[in-house]
Structure 1
Amino acid sequence: MTDPATPIVIIVGTNRPHSVSRQIADYYQQILHRNGATSTILDLHDLPADFTVSALYSNNGKSEAFNQLRKLVDEAEKFVFIVPEYNGSYPGVLKAFIDGLPYPNSFTNKKAALVGLSSNPQGAIIALSHLNDVFSYLGMNTLALRVKLGQIRSYFSNGTITNDLYNELLDMQAQQLIRL
């Protein structure tokens, strides 16, 4: 069991400004707070615009802005990934972010909850499957309960999810992650 004072890091899996993913991350943070857990949000919108050039490969470790985000990941033991579906998978910026982290230690033996959202009824099920494969390769332990928020725009209004089942699943997942 990890130190309860160590915040859970909620990662917004897109760099799109003012994204629904960010709003869902804020909502999830409230759920964690209600369940007695501290959390912080790492929004990929805060990545340096040039991070694929300034922070990766031969420039690894040289971008102070990227290094601050990397430090947050390195110090965390638990994560929630809010993952929008982009073209049948997860956003490329999330993959590039993961690729910029130290391999294999950034996620090895750490825990993650996955939340997918999409405008279609499936709730990013394939995106979560792809991401889970990557995390499995990296040694991350993901919760079996992957919450899939299909047709999210129909069930999210004014910062609130209006679907009772979605709320129940999110709360159940958050409690599972906290207990690990």
Structure 2
Amino acid sequence: MNTKTIGIVVGSLRKESFNKKVAHFLTTVAPQNLTFQTIEIGDLPLYNQDFDEEGSPESYIRLRKEIKALDAILFVTPEYNRSVPGVLKNALDAASRPYGQNAWQGKPAAVVSVSIGNISGFGANHHLRQSLAYLDMPTMPQPEMYLGDIANNLDEQGNFKDPKTIEFLTSFMDAFANWINKF
């Protein structure tokens, strides 16, 4: 089986982020042929088109290089005001520029939205999918992954309590592995 390196982009910067815990948990239920690399996005200055002409910050250069080296991307994001967090949108913009040098292009992707509420980050999930379509990232259509009421679904170690949820997350990661292999 061919090993694939998956970049994990987490849209939350908080130290005790539920999204970081979910991202980590997903790596534990993924097929053995997937390896994971967390992509840091918290150090990126806000995108400014002047960078394209005057020279990009080192963090942009690092991000673009890391993205280009990956086989696929797993996005794990909270929802802020019915959309994606600014830090995540900024990372998408920074690695897609300058025009014609989109580092995301062609990278298969999957989206997981995580929320403390019952709507489960539906708005963020779909806004992110809209951006990924424009960036030419084939995004896994099914199964969709919305994780609501997350504060009550994880134990202190960041593991899911419900066996059916664990089974669903495992099948999601299996489907993602199959999706990646199509590309």
For 1:24, the equivalent position in structure 2 comes to: 22
Structure 2: distance between partners of 1:162 and 1:146:
20
Q: Provide structure 1 residue ranges, at least 5 long, that are not aligned to the other structure.
A: none
What is the CA-CA distance between 1:84 and the residue it aligns to? 0.7
Normalized against structure 1, the TM-score is what?
Answer: 0.85
- What is the identity, as a one-letter code, of the residue corresponding to 1:151? D
Contact 2:11 2:85 in 1 (8 A): yes
What is the CA-CA distance between 1:141 and the residue it aligns to? 0.8
Structure 1: distance between partners of 2:48 and 2:37:
24
Structure 2: distance between partners of 1:90 and 1:131:
7
Structure 1: distance between partners of 2:66 and 2:158:
26
1:77 and 2:79 equivalent?
no
**Number of residue pairs matched?**
172
Structure 1: distance between partners of 2:33 and 2:120:
27
* Aligned-CA RMSD value: 2.0
- What is the identity, as a one-letter code, of the residue corresponding to 2:162? N
For 1:94, the equivalent position in structure 2 comes to: 88
Cα 1:166–1:90 change in 2 (3 A) is: farther
Contact 2:75 2:111 in 1 (8 A): yes
- What is the identity, as a one-letter code, of the residue corresponding to 1:146? E
Correspondences of 1:54-73 after superposition (within 5 Å): 56-60=48-52, 61-73=55-67
Residue among 134, 139, 143 paired with 1:137: 134
- What is the identity, as a one-letter code, of the residue corresponding to 1:141? P
For 1:13, the equivalent position in structure 2 comes to: 11
Normalized against structure 2, the TM-score is what?
Answer: 0.84
- What is the identity, as a one-letter code, of the residue corresponding to 1:109? G
The runs of at least 4 aligned residues of structure 1 exceeding 4 Å deviation read: none
What is the CA-CA distance between 1:133 and the residue it aligns to? 0.7
Contact 2:110 2:176 in 1 (8 A): yes
| Percent of aligned positions that are identical | 26
1:40 and 2:32 equivalent?
no
What is the CA-CA distance between 1:65 and the residue it aligns to? 2.7
